[in-house]
Structure 1
Amino acid sequence: MFERFTKDARAVVTEAVVHAKRAGAETVEETHLLLALLDRKGSRGSFALTSLGLPARRGSVERALAEARRRGGLSRADADALSGLGIDLSEIVSRVEEAHGQGALKAERSGTGGGGTGRRRGLVRRSGHRPFTRGAKDLLTDSLRIALANRDRSIGDEHLLLAITARPGVPAEVLADHGVTYESVRRVLYGGGEAKAG
Protein backbone atom coordinates (compact mmCIF):
# COMPACT_ATOMS: atom_id res chain seq x y z
CA MET A 1 0.00 0.00 0.00
CA PHE A 2 2.86 2.40 0.81
CA GLU A 3 3.80 2.56 -2.88
CA ARG A 4 0.45 4.30 -3.51
CA PHE A 5 1.33 7.11 -1.08
CA THR A 6 2.32 10.50 -2.47
CA LYS A 7 5.54 12.15 -1.35
CA ASP A 8 3.55 14.24 1.16
CA ALA A 9 1.76 11.22 2.61
CA ARG A 10 5.04 9.34 2.95
CA ALA A 11 6.54 12.36 4.70
CA VAL A 12 3.64 12.34 7.20
CA VAL A 13 4.22 8.65 7.99
CA THR A 14 7.97 9.18 8.36
CA GLU A 15 7.50 12.27 10.53
CA ALA A 16 4.98 10.41 12.70
CA VAL A 17 7.76 7.97 13.58
CA VAL A 18 9.96 10.93 14.51
CA HIS A 19 7.19 12.32 16.74
CA ALA A 20 6.86 8.93 18.45
CA LYS A 21 10.62 8.75 19.05
CA ARG A 22 10.71 12.31 20.35
CA ALA A 23 7.90 11.49 22.79
CA GLY A 24 9.65 8.30 23.90
CA ALA A 25 6.69 6.25 22.68
CA GLU A 26 7.16 2.57 21.95
CA THR A 27 4.63 2.70 19.12
CA VAL A 28 3.43 5.12 16.46
CA GLU A 29 -0.13 6.16 17.19
CA GLU A 30 -2.84 8.15 15.43
CA THR A 31 -1.88 11.20 17.47
CA HIS A 32 1.65 11.07 16.04
CA LEU A 33 0.18 11.00 12.53
CA LEU A 34 -1.91 14.08 13.37
CA LEU A 35 1.13 15.96 14.71
CA ALA A 36 3.04 15.07 11.54
CA LEU A 37 0.16 16.38 9.42
CA LEU A 38 0.29 19.65 11.34
CA ASP A 39 3.98 19.96 10.38
CA ARG A 40 3.33 19.77 6.61
CA LYS A 41 3.57 22.82 4.38
CA GLY A 42 2.55 23.17 0.74
CA SER A 43 0.45 19.99 0.53
CA ARG A 44 -3.26 19.38 0.04
CA GLY A 45 -3.65 18.38 3.68
CA SER A 46 -1.90 21.52 4.89
CA PHE A 47 -4.06 23.59 2.51
CA ALA A 48 -7.20 22.15 4.12
CA LEU A 49 -5.91 22.76 7.64
CA THR A 50 -4.86 26.32 6.76
CA SER A 51 -8.23 27.00 5.10
CA LEU A 52 -9.92 25.93 8.33
CA GLY A 53 -7.64 28.14 10.46
CA LEU A 54 -5.92 25.34 12.35
CA PRO A 55 -2.26 26.45 12.12
CA ALA A 56 -3.08 29.56 14.16
CA ARG A 57 -4.48 27.30 16.88
CA ARG A 58 -1.76 24.64 16.87
CA GLY A 59 -0.78 25.37 20.47
CA SER A 60 -4.35 24.75 21.57
CA VAL A 61 -4.41 21.47 19.63
CA GLU A 62 -1.16 20.32 21.25
CA ARG A 63 -2.47 21.21 24.73
CA ALA A 64 -5.68 19.25 24.08
CA LEU A 65 -3.66 16.22 22.93
CA ALA A 66 -1.44 16.50 26.01
CA GLU A 67 -4.51 16.65 28.26
CA ALA A 68 -5.87 13.50 26.61
CA ARG A 69 -2.51 11.76 27.21
CA ARG A 70 -2.78 12.85 30.84
CA ARG A 71 -6.12 11.02 30.96
CA GLY A 72 -4.40 7.88 29.70
CA GLY A 73 -5.43 8.53 26.09
CA LEU A 74 -9.15 8.47 26.81
CA SER A 75 -11.41 10.78 24.85
CA ARG A 76 -14.19 12.88 26.35
CA ALA A 77 -16.65 10.35 24.92
CA ASP A 78 -14.82 7.65 26.92
CA ALA A 79 -14.97 9.85 30.03
CA ASP A 80 -18.69 10.46 29.47
CA ALA A 81 -19.32 6.71 29.11
CA LEU A 82 -17.45 6.05 32.35
CA SER A 83 -19.39 8.84 34.04
CA GLY A 84 -22.60 7.12 33.00
CA LEU A 85 -21.36 4.12 34.97
CA GLY A 86 -20.67 6.31 37.98
CA ILE A 87 -16.90 6.49 37.38
CA ASP A 88 -15.34 9.96 37.65
CA LEU A 89 -12.28 9.92 35.36
CA SER A 90 -11.02 13.26 36.71
CA GLU A 91 -11.05 11.83 40.22
CA ILE A 92 -9.19 8.71 39.09
CA VAL A 93 -6.54 10.78 37.28
CA SER A 94 -6.14 12.98 40.38
CA ARG A 95 -5.72 10.00 42.68
CA VAL A 96 -3.24 8.25 40.38
CA GLU A 97 -1.20 11.44 40.05
CA GLU A 98 -1.34 11.98 43.80
CA ALA A 99 0.06 8.49 44.38
CA HIS A 100 2.47 8.27 41.43
CA GLY A 101 3.21 11.82 40.34
CA GLN A 102 2.01 14.29 37.74
CA GLY A 103 1.38 12.69 34.36
CA ALA A 104 1.53 9.11 35.65
CA LEU A 105 -1.08 7.99 33.12
CA LYS A 106 0.84 9.50 30.20
CA ALA A 107 2.76 6.28 29.65
CA GLU A 108 2.47 5.30 26.03
CA ARG A 109 0.56 2.12 25.36
CA SER A 110 2.46 -0.59 23.59
CA GLY A 111 -0.39 -1.50 21.28
CA THR A 112 0.60 -5.15 21.53
CA GLY A 113 -2.24 -6.39 23.67
CA GLY A 114 -1.86 -8.24 26.89
CA GLY A 115 1.46 -9.65 27.95
CA GLY A 116 3.63 -8.69 24.98
CA THR A 117 5.05 -5.42 26.20
CA GLY A 118 8.32 -6.71 27.62
CA ARG A 119 9.37 -8.34 24.37
CA ARG A 120 8.25 -5.30 22.37
CA ARG A 121 10.21 -2.90 24.56
CA GLY A 122 13.38 -4.90 24.05
CA LEU A 123 12.80 -4.84 20.31
CA VAL A 124 12.35 -1.07 20.29
CA ARG A 125 15.51 -0.49 22.33
CA ARG A 126 17.72 -2.72 20.19
CA SER A 127 16.48 -1.85 16.72
CA GLY A 128 15.04 1.63 17.18
CA HIS A 129 11.99 0.39 15.24
CA ARG A 130 8.63 1.63 16.43
CA PRO A 131 5.70 -0.40 15.18
CA PHE A 132 2.38 1.21 14.34
CA THR A 133 -0.55 0.55 16.67
CA ARG A 134 -3.63 -1.20 15.30
CA GLY A 135 -5.41 2.18 15.27
CA ALA A 136 -2.64 3.83 13.24
CA LYS A 137 -2.59 0.92 10.78
CA ASP A 138 -6.36 1.11 10.44
CA LEU A 139 -6.07 4.84 9.78
CA LEU A 140 -3.67 4.15 6.90
CA THR A 141 -6.08 1.56 5.50
CA ASP A 142 -8.98 4.00 5.86
CA SER A 143 -6.99 6.60 3.92
CA LEU A 144 -6.77 4.12 1.03
CA ARG A 145 -10.52 3.57 1.15
CA ILE A 146 -11.15 7.32 1.14
CA ALA A 147 -8.81 7.84 -1.82
CA LEU A 148 -10.56 5.07 -3.76
CA ALA A 149 -14.00 6.43 -2.88
CA ASN A 150 -12.94 9.81 -4.30
CA ARG A 151 -11.46 8.13 -7.38
CA ASP A 152 -8.03 9.52 -6.53
CA ARG A 153 -5.11 7.52 -7.92
CA SER A 154 -2.76 8.04 -5.01
CA ILE A 155 -3.08 8.36 -1.26
CA GLY A 156 -2.18 11.90 -0.27
CA ASP A 157 -1.83 13.55 3.09
CA GLU A 158 -5.34 14.92 2.57
CA HIS A 159 -6.65 11.35 2.68
CA LEU A 160 -4.77 10.78 5.93
CA LEU A 161 -6.41 13.92 7.33
CA LEU A 162 -9.85 12.78 6.19
CA ALA A 163 -9.24 9.36 7.76
CA ILE A 164 -8.25 10.95 11.08
CA THR A 165 -11.39 13.08 11.13
CA ALA A 166 -13.60 10.09 10.24
CA ARG A 167 -12.34 7.79 13.01
CA PRO A 168 -13.60 7.97 16.59
CA GLY A 169 -11.01 8.91 19.17
CA VAL A 170 -8.90 11.68 20.60
CA PRO A 171 -7.39 13.07 17.35
CA ALA A 172 -10.81 13.48 15.68
CA GLU A 173 -12.30 14.89 18.89
CA VAL A 174 -9.53 17.48 19.24
CA LEU A 175 -9.79 18.47 15.58
CA ALA A 176 -13.59 18.78 15.82
CA ASP A 177 -13.18 21.02 18.87
CA HIS A 178 -11.11 23.28 16.61
CA GLY A 179 -13.62 23.28 13.74
CA VAL A 180 -11.95 20.60 11.66
CA THR A 181 -14.38 17.79 10.88
CA TYR A 182 -14.65 15.24 8.10
CA GLU A 183 -17.35 17.34 6.46
CA SER A 184 -15.42 20.62 6.67
CA VAL A 185 -12.22 19.07 5.30
CA ARG A 186 -14.17 17.37 2.52
CA ARG A 187 -15.81 20.69 1.54
CA VAL A 188 -12.43 22.40 1.36
CA LEU A 189 -10.85 19.63 -0.70
CA TYR A 190 -13.71 18.57 -2.97
CA GLY A 191 -16.51 21.10 -2.66
CA GLY A 192 -15.24 24.54 -3.65
CA GLY A 193 -13.14 25.42 -0.59
CA GLU A 194 -15.79 27.52 1.16
CA ALA A 195 -15.71 25.70 4.51
CA LYS A 196 -15.31 27.70 7.69
CA ALA A 197 -13.97 26.61 11.04
CA GLY A 198 -16.76 26.03 13.54
Structure 2
Amino acid sequence: MFERFTGDSRTAVTMAQEEARMLRHGEVDTGHLMLGLLTSGPDGPVAGGPGARALRSLGLTSEVLRPLVGREIDGLDPDALAAIGIDLDAVRQATEASFGPGALEGRTGPVKSGHLKFTSEAKKTLELSLRVAIKNKQRFICDGHILLALLMLPDSTATRALRAAQTDLDALKEAAEREIAAIAA
Protein backbone atom coordinates (compact mmCIF):
# COMPACT_ATOMS: atom_id res chain seq x y z
CA MET A 1 0.00 0.00 0.00
CA PHE A 2 2.74 2.50 0.92
CA GLU A 3 4.25 2.29 -2.54
CA ARG A 4 1.15 4.19 -3.74
CA PHE A 5 1.74 7.07 -1.33
CA THR A 6 2.82 10.32 -2.97
CA GLY A 7 5.55 12.49 -1.50
CA ASP A 8 3.03 14.72 0.29
CA SER A 9 1.25 11.78 1.92
CA ARG A 10 4.54 10.17 3.00
CA THR A 11 5.68 13.47 4.48
CA ALA A 12 2.33 13.89 6.26
CA VAL A 13 2.67 10.46 7.91
CA THR A 14 6.26 11.21 8.94
CA MET A 15 5.25 14.61 10.29
CA ALA A 16 2.37 12.98 12.22
CA GLN A 17 5.00 11.06 14.20
CA GLU A 18 6.85 14.31 14.87
CA GLU A 19 3.63 15.97 16.02
CA ALA A 20 2.98 13.08 18.43
CA ARG A 21 6.50 13.45 19.83
CA MET A 22 6.18 17.21 20.14
CA LEU A 23 2.89 16.83 22.03
CA ARG A 24 4.60 14.16 24.17
CA HIS A 25 2.14 11.46 23.14
CA GLY A 26 3.35 7.88 22.99
CA GLU A 27 1.52 6.89 19.81
CA VAL A 28 0.23 8.41 16.60
CA ASP A 29 -3.51 9.10 16.50
CA THR A 30 -5.82 10.54 13.84
CA GLY A 31 -5.29 14.01 15.27
CA HIS A 32 -1.57 13.68 14.64
CA LEU A 33 -2.26 12.56 11.06
CA MET A 34 -4.33 15.70 10.53
CA LEU A 35 -1.58 17.87 12.00
CA GLY A 36 0.91 16.04 9.79
CA LEU A 37 -1.09 17.16 6.75
CA LEU A 38 -0.75 20.77 7.86
CA THR A 39 2.86 20.50 8.98
CA SER A 40 3.81 19.35 5.49
CA GLY A 41 2.20 22.54 4.15
CA PRO A 42 3.80 25.91 3.38
CA ASP A 43 5.28 26.26 6.88
CA GLY A 44 6.62 22.72 6.70
CA PRO A 45 9.27 20.92 4.68
CA VAL A 46 7.23 20.60 1.46
CA ALA A 47 4.61 22.67 -0.33
CA GLY A 48 1.79 20.39 0.78
CA GLY A 49 -0.73 18.47 -1.24
CA PRO A 50 -4.48 18.64 -1.77
CA GLY A 51 -5.29 17.76 1.84
CA ALA A 52 -3.14 20.55 3.24
CA ARG A 53 -4.56 23.01 0.72
CA ALA A 54 -8.15 21.99 1.58
CA LEU A 55 -7.54 22.49 5.31
CA ARG A 56 -5.87 25.86 4.74
CA SER A 57 -8.68 26.98 2.41
CA LEU A 58 -11.00 26.87 5.42
CA GLY A 59 -8.53 28.82 7.57
CA LEU A 60 -7.27 25.78 9.47
CA THR A 61 -3.65 25.77 10.54
CA SER A 62 -1.56 23.64 12.83
CA GLU A 63 -1.58 26.54 15.31
CA VAL A 64 -5.39 26.41 15.43
CA LEU A 65 -5.72 22.62 15.62
CA ARG A 66 -2.68 21.55 17.67
CA PRO A 67 -4.10 22.75 21.02
CA LEU A 68 -7.37 20.96 20.26
CA VAL A 69 -5.60 17.71 19.39
CA GLY A 70 -3.30 18.01 22.39
CA ARG A 71 -6.09 18.51 24.86
CA GLU A 72 -8.20 15.78 23.23
CA ILE A 73 -5.59 13.05 23.40
CA ASP A 74 -4.44 13.63 26.94
CA GLY A 75 -7.53 11.74 28.11
CA LEU A 76 -9.30 14.61 29.82
CA ASP A 77 -12.58 15.66 28.24
CA PRO A 78 -12.97 19.41 28.81
CA ASP A 79 -16.70 19.41 27.97
CA ALA A 80 -17.50 16.59 30.39
CA LEU A 81 -15.48 18.28 33.14
CA ALA A 82 -17.17 21.65 32.45
CA ALA A 83 -20.55 19.95 32.86
CA ILE A 84 -19.65 19.20 36.48
CA GLY A 85 -18.13 22.63 37.10
CA ILE A 86 -14.43 21.95 36.47
CA ASP A 87 -12.49 24.30 34.19
CA LEU A 88 -9.82 22.07 32.63
CA ASP A 89 -7.75 25.00 31.40
CA ALA A 90 -7.59 26.45 34.93
CA VAL A 91 -6.65 23.05 36.37
CA ARG A 92 -3.98 22.58 33.67
CA GLN A 93 -2.50 26.05 34.32
CA ALA A 94 -2.39 25.54 38.07
CA THR A 95 -0.88 22.06 37.72
CA GLU A 96 1.76 23.20 35.23
CA ALA A 97 2.60 26.20 37.41
CA SER A 98 3.30 23.84 40.31
CA PHE A 99 4.77 20.81 38.53
CA GLY A 100 5.98 22.05 35.14
CA PRO A 101 4.74 21.86 31.55
CA GLY A 102 3.04 18.61 30.57
CA ALA A 103 2.47 17.50 34.16
CA LEU A 104 -1.04 16.23 33.37
CA GLU A 105 0.27 14.09 30.54
CA GLY A 106 1.99 11.74 32.95
CA ARG A 107 5.29 11.78 31.04
CA THR A 108 8.37 13.03 32.76
CA GLY A 109 11.01 11.86 30.29
CA PRO A 110 11.37 12.28 26.56
CA VAL A 111 9.10 10.48 24.14
CA LYS A 112 10.96 7.63 22.47
CA SER A 113 12.74 8.34 19.23
CA GLY A 114 12.25 6.28 16.09
CA HIS A 115 8.97 4.88 14.89
CA LEU A 116 5.94 5.44 17.13
CA LYS A 117 3.08 2.95 17.18
CA PHE A 118 -0.08 3.99 15.31
CA THR A 119 -3.43 3.65 17.06
CA SER A 120 -5.99 1.35 15.46
CA GLU A 121 -7.95 4.42 14.28
CA ALA A 122 -4.85 5.90 12.63
CA LYS A 123 -4.17 2.57 10.89
CA LYS A 124 -7.80 2.43 9.78
CA THR A 125 -7.45 5.95 8.35
CA LEU A 126 -4.48 4.90 6.24
CA GLU A 127 -6.40 1.83 5.01
CA LEU A 128 -9.43 3.97 4.21
CA SER A 129 -7.24 6.38 2.24
CA LEU A 130 -6.44 3.48 -0.11
CA ARG A 131 -10.15 2.73 -0.49
CA VAL A 132 -10.87 6.40 -1.26
CA ALA A 133 -8.20 6.39 -3.97
CA ILE A 134 -9.53 3.15 -5.48
CA LYS A 135 -13.10 4.47 -5.41
CA ASN A 136 -11.89 7.52 -7.35
CA LYS A 137 -10.02 5.24 -9.79
CA GLN A 138 -6.69 6.77 -8.80
CA ARG A 139 -3.49 4.74 -8.59
CA PHE A 140 -1.89 7.03 -5.99
CA ILE A 141 -2.67 8.01 -2.40
CA CYS A 142 -2.17 11.71 -1.75
CA ASP A 143 -2.66 13.64 1.47
CA GLY A 144 -6.15 14.57 0.23
CA HIS A 145 -7.13 10.90 0.36
CA ILE A 146 -5.87 10.77 3.95
CA LEU A 147 -7.99 13.82 4.81
CA LEU A 148 -11.09 12.28 3.23
CA ALA A 149 -10.41 9.08 5.18
CA LEU A 150 -10.10 11.09 8.41
CA LEU A 151 -13.50 12.63 7.72
CA MET A 152 -15.02 9.15 7.39
CA LEU A 153 -14.41 8.52 11.10
CA PRO A 154 -16.91 10.83 12.83
CA ASP A 155 -15.76 10.07 16.38
CA SER A 156 -12.01 10.23 15.78
CA THR A 157 -9.70 12.64 17.53
CA ALA A 158 -9.24 14.51 14.25
CA THR A 159 -12.94 15.08 13.57
CA ARG A 160 -13.60 16.05 17.19
CA ALA A 161 -10.81 18.64 16.93
CA LEU A 162 -12.24 19.91 13.64
CA ARG A 163 -15.69 20.24 15.20
CA ALA A 164 -14.18 22.02 18.21
CA ALA A 165 -12.65 24.49 15.72
CA GLN A 166 -16.19 24.97 14.33
CA THR A 167 -15.20 23.55 10.94
CA ASP A 168 -17.88 22.83 8.35
CA LEU A 169 -16.95 19.19 7.69
CA ASP A 170 -19.01 19.01 4.49
CA ALA A 171 -17.23 22.09 3.11
CA LEU A 172 -13.88 20.55 4.05
CA LYS A 173 -14.79 17.32 2.27
CA GLU A 174 -15.82 19.26 -0.84
CA ALA A 175 -12.58 21.28 -0.76
CA ALA A 176 -10.51 18.09 -0.50
CA GLU A 177 -12.40 16.48 -3.37
CA ARG A 178 -11.84 19.59 -5.54
CA GLU A 179 -8.13 19.66 -4.74
CA ILE A 180 -7.74 15.95 -5.55
CA ALA A 181 -9.67 16.36 -8.81
CA ALA A 182 -7.38 19.24 -9.78
CA ILE A 183 -4.22 17.14 -9.47
CA ALA A 184 -5.81 14.07 -11.08
CA ALA A 185 -6.89 16.01 -14.19
TM-score normalized by structure 1?
Answer: 0.65
Report the CA distance between 1:18 and its aligned residue. Answer: 2.0
Residues in 2 aligned to 1:157 and 1:144: alpha-carbon distance in whole angstroms: 11
1:171 corresponds to 2:162:
no
* Paired residues for 1:1-198 under 5 Å: 1-39=1-39, 40=41, 41-55=47-61, 58-69=62-73, 72=75, 74=77, 79=80, 104-107=103-106, 128-167=114-153, 168-190=155-177
Residues in 1 aligned to 2:179 and 2:19: alpha-carbon distance in whole angstroms: 33
- Residue pair 1:162, 1:182 contacting (<8 A) in 2 also: no
Residues in 2 aligned to 1:89 and 1:147: alpha-carbon distance in whole angstroms: 44
Residues in 2 aligned to 1:192 and 1:21: alpha-carbon distance in whole angstroms: 29
Residues 29 and 89 of structure 1, relative CA distance in 2, 3 Å threshold: farther
Report the CA distance between 1:174 and its aligned residue. Answer: 1.6
Report the CA distance between 1:190 and its aligned residue. Answer: 3.1
- Residue pair 1:72, 1:107 contacting (<8 A) in 2 also: no
Question: Structure 1, residues 65-93: CA drift from partner, whole Å, max 9, x if none?
Answer: 23324x516585xx49xx7xxx77868x9
Report the CA distance between 1:101 and its aligned residue. Answer: 5.5
- Residue pair 1:165, 1:175 contacting (<8 A) in 2 also: no
- Residue pair 1:29, 1:132 contacting (<8 A) in 2 also: yes
- Residue pair 1:75, 1:173 contacting (<8 A) in 2 also: no
Report the CA distance between 1:35 and its aligned residue. Answer: 1.4
Matched residues, percent identical? Answer: 34
Question: Structure 1, residues 126-164: CA drift from partner, whole Å, max 9, x if none?
Answer: x73322121211111121122222222211101111122
Residues in 1 aligned to 2:139 and 2:77: alpha-carbon distance in whole angstroms: 35
- Residue pair 2:30, 2:125 contacting (<8 A) in 1 also: yes
Residues paired across the two proteins, number: 167
Report the CA distance between 1:22 and its aligned residue. Answer: 3.0
Residues in 2 aligned to 1:19 and 1:44: alpha-carbon distance in whole angstroms: 20
SS of aligned partner of 1:161:
helix
- Residue pair 2:12, 2:33 contacting (<8 A) in 1 also: yes
Report the CA distance between 1:182 and its aligned residue. Answer: 4.2
Residues in 1 aligned to 2:179 and 2:122: alpha-carbon distance in whole angstroms: 30
- Residue pair 1:49, 1:180 contacting (<8 A) in 2 also: no
1:60 partner letter: V
- Structure (1 or 2) with the larger CA radius of gyration: 1
